[in-house]
Amino acid sequence: MKKLVNVIDATKDLNILRSKRNYKPLFEVVGTYRLIDDGLRPEATVIIKTEKKQMHEASTGVGPVDALANVLKKSLSSIFPVIQEVKLVDFSSRIHDTRSGTSASVEVNIIFSDGEAVWSVVAISENINMASFVALIDGFEYAILAKKVKSSRKK
């Protein structure tokens, strides 16, 4: 049976790219995120740095992951407009070693799409918000890199 959708394993692609000596990240997070979650309207803050610019942004969301996604999208889209096209399609999490209770590692899987391609990223942490944040960063970084590759093929 033919697959309806080809989901790219962006985590694997990024791990391979990052292992190369000449790989240079497109952006970096200064420190980490800040998250204020009152249970009603979470707010996330982040500082993103590129070669030419540093942005300090804040954004809210309907939940902590949405707030983190919104603040990253807000920061990155000013430099990388392709991010505006990126949507989160699916979010799932899975607890590793359930005997550890609330200190167990959590695996987060996020599926993204830009309306054409679909890619998936995975991150693991003992903190579900940190795992989500790392997965979001990877998903957005993959979108930027994929757009650069696509643009260079057209030339």
DSSP letter string over 89-132?
Answer: EEEEEEES-GGGGGGS-EEEEEEEE-SS-EEEEEEEESSHHHHH
Running DSSP on this structure, what letter comes out for residue 83? G
CATH topology of domain 7-17+25-154: Double Stranded RNA Binding Domain (3.30.160)
| Helix, strand, coil tally for the chain in percent (to 5) | 40, 30, 30
Q: How many CB atoms lie within 10 A of CB 141?
A: 22
pLDDT, residue 56, reads 95
Share of the chain above pLDDT 90, in %: 81
pLDDT, residue 102, reads 73
- Where do we find the tokens 């996020």? 110
pTM: 0.92
Residue 32 backbone class (left: φ over 0; alpha: ψ -120 to 50; beta: rest)? beta
Rounded (10°) CA dihedral 7, 9, 10, 16: -150
| Residue type at 19 in one-letter notation | S
| pLDDT tens string 12-62 | 999 999 999 999 999 999 999 999 999 899 999 999 999 889 999 999 999
